[in-house]
């Protein structure tokens, strides 16, 4: 046995009558859809139900799997303490995934916070499922701040665990859609909100899971989506399987998107191994980019790769052919590293500290790949997926007004009482001068309201 079906569901506590107290009728279509898929789960009679929840314990660099023999929960936080849950975990299933992750060096397991109480991202689906199914074990998995491909990869591991244990498993991907669909909604309105809902329903309604990787992180943040990583993990659990797909409903009347789809497994389909397809295409794109990269980026990439593999600096004898300007010029430079669209490291110097720009790039490439305090050092297996760019800084100039900044053209340096924060220009998600100054200030530990001085600078970006 293995994964027999999966379901994409929302988790508004409002949907539970004891919580909604009549207000749930606003989303009656969602309730009816939920009831239909819960009935389907009851008919399937799974041994184990795996639920991924955005509200389970979550870490930036680790997937937390709830351990122990079980957990309890209630809707007491939503004024309905009488609605309770007492669930048993599939201990063997959890151990199998954890062992698999350890053997692969994959960041998932039972480390970190072990919350003995169930979150509403799990309890809302269970409320409906328990109407039609009384006997099953549960596996609860949290999301992470890691990239989408790793969520998909964990889904593949869940599928393999089900196969190895001969379990009949249903996967439930708990997650609301955008929280920015209406002016009166809990987070207001953003044009990215309706666009996100439209795109995710098209992708999940058609089963074109390869397109899940095309959702830019900045776009998702602006849409204030909730469940995207949960849906990606579900897609991984369905990797290589042919599906009978049904889109039940989508509602947005509360200002939050609620989408429900079902995915019944019909057999194997090697053409639906979407992570392999994505990585093959990504490698082709990266290979073309590397064939055309300029000397600045090539020097940074070779320096980072050499250090990650050997622990030592790239010898001058192995430097690529460099133009005189890199060898003779002195300037501050930043090296930025991305992996699958997410920042993986960024370190630089505002003013030159080495004898040449080339040496500045070599040192900062090493620092960006291994010394950025926000990230673990880059591992050898990550090297094929890295995208690197180099920003060479012009000389900073003092300015006396925010009006002399432009987020696309100028970077900013914010200084207050010896503390100094910098932000490069033309960054995704930084759309206003106010944002630019605020982020640079936070990086320096400068609090709102403290007196600041500003400098601006231009960059020459090499990608």
For range 354-366, the mean pLDDT? 97
Q: What are phi and psi of 217, to 5 degrees?
A: -60, -40
92-101 pLDDT tens trace: 999 999 999 9
pLDDT digits (tens, 9 = 90+) for 60-87: 889 999 999 999 999 999 999 999 999 9
How would residue 106 be classed by pLDDT, with cut points 50, 70 and 90?
A: very high
Task: Please give the structure tokens belonging to residue 242.
Answer: 């042919």
pLDDT at 429: 82
Compute the average pLDDT of residues 146-173. 97
CB 170 within 8 A of CB 50: yes
Three-state secondary structure call for residue 422: strand
Residue 186 has a pLDDT of: 86
Q: Is 53 helix (H, G, I), strand (E, B) or coil?
A: strand
| Residue 144 in this model has a pLDDT that exceeds 80 | yes
Rounded to whole angstroms, the Cα distance separating 280 from 387 reads: 16
Q: What is the pLDDT of residues 268-282, one digit of tens each?
A: 999 999 999 999 999
Structure tokens at 275: 């992570």
By percentage, how much of the chain surpasses pLDDT 90? Answer: 93
- In contact, 168 and 48? CB cutoff 8 Å: yes
pLDDT at 115: 67
Six token digits for residue 166: 């001969």
How far apart CA 457 and CA 51 sit, in angstroms, is: 48
Predicted local distance difference test score (pLDDT) of residue 185: 87
- Give residue for tokens 């063997």: 92
pLDDT in the model for residue 459: 95
Q: Rounded mean pLDDT of the chain?
A: 95
pLDDT value for 217: 87
Banded pLDDT at 342 (limits 50, 70, 90): confident
Arithmetic mean of pLDDT, 230-244 = 98
pLDDT at 428 over 90: no
pLDDT in tens, 19-56: 999 999 999 999 999 999 999 999 999 999 999 999 99
pLDDT of 341 over the 70 cut? yes
Predicted confidence at residue 364, as pLDDT, reads 98
Write down the CATH number for the domain with range 3-277. Answer: 3.40.830.10
Residue 315 confidence (pLDDT): 96
Give the pLDDT of residue 65. 96
Assess whether pLDDT exceeds 80 at residue 133. Answer: yes
Tokens of 303: 């320096």
The architecture (CATH level 2) of 282-462 comes to 2-Layer Sandwich (3.30)
Please give the average per-residue pLDDT across 120-133, as a whole number: 98
Q: For residues 369 and 301, what is the distance between their CA atoms, to the nearest angstrom?
A: 10
User: Would you say 423 and 430 are in contact if contact means Cβ atoms under 8 Å apart?
Assistant: yes
Q: Per-residue confidence at 405, pLDDT binned at 50, 70, 90?
A: very high
Mean pLDDT lowest among 116-125, 228-237, 338-347 = 338-347
| pLDDT band (50, 70, 90) for residue 218 | confident
Confidence class for position 113, pLDDT limits 50, 70, 90: confident
The structural domains of the chain, with segments of one domain joined by +, span 3-277, 282-462
Distances (CA, A) of 145 to 11, 63, 142, 344: 20, 9, 10, 12
């Amino acid at each position: 046995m293995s994964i027999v079906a999966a379901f994409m569901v929302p988790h508004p506590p409002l949907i539970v009558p004891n919580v909604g107290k009549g207000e749930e009728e606003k989303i009656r279509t969602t309730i009816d859809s939920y009831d239909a898929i819960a009935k389907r789960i009851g008919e399937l009679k799974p041994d184990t139900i795996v639920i991924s929840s955005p509200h389970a314990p979550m870490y930036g660099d680790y997937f937390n799997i709830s351990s122990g023999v079980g957990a309890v929960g209630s809707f007491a936080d939503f004024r309905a303490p009488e609605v309770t849950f007492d669930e048993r975990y599939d201990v063997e299933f959890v151990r199998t995934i954890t062992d698999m992750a350890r053997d692969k060096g994959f960041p998932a397991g039972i480390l970190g916070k072990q919350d003995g109480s169930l979150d509403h991202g799990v309890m809302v689906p269970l409320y409906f499922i328990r109407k039609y199914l009384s006997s099953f074990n549960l596996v609860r998995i949290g999301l992470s701040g890691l990239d989408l491909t790793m969520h998909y990869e964990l889904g593949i591991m869940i599928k393999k665990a089900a196969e190895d244990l001969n379990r009949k498993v249903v996967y439930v991907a708990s997650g609301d859609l955008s929280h920015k669909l209406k002016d009166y909604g809990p987070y207001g309105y953003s044009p990215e909100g309706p666009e996100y809902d439209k795109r995710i329903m098209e992708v999940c309604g058609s089963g074109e899971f390869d397109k899940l990787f095309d959702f830019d992180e900045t776009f998702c943040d602006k849409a204030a989506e909730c469940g995207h990583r949960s849906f990606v993990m579900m897609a991984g659990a369905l990797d290589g399987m042919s599906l009978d797909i049904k889109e039940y409903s989508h509602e947005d009347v509360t200002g939050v998107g609620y989408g429900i789809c079902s995915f019944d497994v019909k057999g194997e389909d090697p053409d639906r191994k979407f992570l392999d397809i994505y990585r093959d295409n990504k490698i082709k794109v990266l290979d073309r980019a590397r064939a055309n990269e300029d000397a600045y980026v090539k020097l940074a990439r070779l320096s980072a790769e050499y250090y990650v593999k050997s622990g030592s600096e790239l010898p001058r004898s192995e430097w690529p052919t460099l133009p005189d300007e890199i060898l003779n010029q002195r300037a501050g430079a930043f090296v930025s590293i991305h992996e699958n669209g997410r920042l993986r490291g960024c370190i630089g110097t505002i003013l030159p500290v080495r004898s040449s720009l080339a040496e500045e790039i070599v040192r900062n490439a090493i620092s960006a790949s291994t010394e950025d305090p926000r990230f673990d050092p880059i591992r050898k297996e990550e090297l094929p997926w890295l995208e690197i760019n180099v920003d060479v800084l012009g000389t900073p100039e003092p300015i006396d007004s925010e009006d002399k900044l432009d987020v696309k053209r100028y970077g900013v340096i914010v200084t207050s009482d010896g503390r100094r924060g910098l932000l490069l220009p033309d960054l995704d998600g930084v759309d206003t001068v106010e944002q630019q100054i605020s982020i640079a200030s936070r990086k320096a530990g400068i609090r709102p309201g403290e007196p600041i001085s500003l400098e601006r600078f231009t960059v020459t970006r090499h990608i």
